[in-house]
Amino acid sequence: MLALIYFIILGVIAVGSALCVLLSKHPLYGALSLVVSMLSLAGIYGLLGSPFIGVVQIMVYAGAIIMLLTFVIMVLNAAKDSKTPMFDKVSLFVIPAALVLSGLVGFILVRAPLAFDAETVRGSVKITSETLFNVAQTGPGYFVLFEVIGLLLLSAMGAAVLMAKKRLGTNEEEK
């Protein structure tokens, strides 16, 4: 029953922060909303019994890709913001969502036993890598998804650079 309550809370936070990504007027606030969404999805993966996918979600998406996205936003903005709003309508959801997420993490850390039980380990890095990157014809094909996501991110970065180049080449008088 407690897992269902956690799932509902994390699901509402994930959907709400995803809506905040769409409704945010400032791109940096959209990126922060995306971080909240990724963290709540990692919590859902943990509830579903996939702690490895949850940790990968945090490390890869909420860590590396959001940092790269924030860097691109800051470079493309080129310090043209004279005034960034301190709070907007999106922050009315993101701030309580971040507080609820941190409260859930604190509650779980206080209640969870921190002892390591060697019998609960179900896999290893070797088994995981053999499953994810099995290129045999009878394999699951996860490596194709890995490469498609890489190409998608590469094309998104190329499009961002082209858009920035177009914008940086214009004069202020032409606008």
> Can you list the residues of the chain whose pLDDT is less than 50?
79
Is 3 found in the same domain as 67?
yes
Q: Which two structure tokens, joined as six digits, stand for 40?
A: 């709540």
Ordered DSSP codes for 73-89:
HHHHHTT--S---S--T
In a domain, 62, yes or no: yes
In a domain, 147, yes or no: yes
Q: Specify the pTM.
A: 0.52
In a domain, 38, yes or no: yes
For residue 15, what is the domain's CATH number? Answer: 1.20.120.1200
Residue range(s) defining the domain that contains residue 144? 133-169
Q: Length of the chain in residues, anyone?
A: 175
Amino acid in the structure at residue 105? V
Residue 43 and residue 101 in contact, taking contact as beta carbons nearer than 8 Å: yes
Per-residue model confidence as pLDDT tens digits over 90-141: 677 777 887 887 888 788 777 776 665 555 556 667 777 777 777 777 777 7
The DSSP secondary-structure symbol of 112 reads: S
* Structural domains counted in the chain: 2
Residue 124 and residue 52 in contact, taking contact as beta carbons nearer than 8 Å: no
Q: Which of 51, 78, 105 is the last residue of a domain?
A: 78
In a domain, 92, yes or no: no
Q: Which of 78, 95, 118 is the last residue of a domain?
A: 78
**pLDDT for position 86:** 64
The DSSP secondary-structure symbol of 83 reads: -
Residue 66 and residue 38 in contact, taking contact as beta carbons nearer than 8 Å: yes
Amino acid in the structure at residue 66? I
